[in-house]
Structure 1
Amino acid sequence: MQAAPVNDVMPHSTRATPIPSFTDALRAVESLLMSSGQRTARRNAWTSVLEDRRRAKDRVEAERVLRQTPTAHP
């Protein structure tokens, strides 16, 4: 059995997936930004719902207090 010659070099491995195009990269970035934007929109919508509920509760409480308060007639 002979040893492998010193001049033989193992070939470099090649990429299994192609390098994405500039357009593909932009689409990926856009997708990431849009998903973040959607999360922000949902969070803002939920905050708005909670604020509406708080205002409704305050309104009901104010109406209750006003009904219990005697009115002064001049």
Structure 2
Amino acid sequence: MQAAPVRATAIPSFTNALRAVESLLMSGGQRTARRNAWTSVLEDRRRAKDRSEAERLLDEAVAARTS
């Protein structure tokens, strides 16, 4: 009697599976972080422009009062 051939299939360990899931989640998280950072940069630029415009208008108002 001959033994039946054994098929060995590598089953990923829990740790390897967890690492794979983590890498998938982290890549999306990094994209979100970059997008959030860029949105913050744009918002900071907008606020700086608004501050600059407000300062200019105040300076003009003071100059008009003293003339």
CA RMSD for the aligned pairs? 2.0
> Of residues 12, 15, 21 in structure 2, which corresponds to 1:20?
12
* Superposition TM-score, scaled by structure 1 size: 0.66
- State the match for 2:32 in structure 1: 40
Q: Distance in 1 between matches of 2:65 and 2:27?
A: 55
Q: Distance in 1 between matches of 2:27 and 2:65?
A: 55
- State the match for 1:65 in structure 2: 57
- Tell me which protein shows more helix as a share of its residues: 2
- Unpaired segments of 5 or more residues in structure 2? 1-6
* Superposition TM-score, scaled by structure 2 size: 0.73
For the pair shown, which has the larger CA radius of gyration, 1 or 2?
Answer: 1
Matched residue count: 58
Could you tell me the percent identity over the aligned residues?
Answer: 78
- Unpaired segments of 5 or more residues in structure 1? 1-13
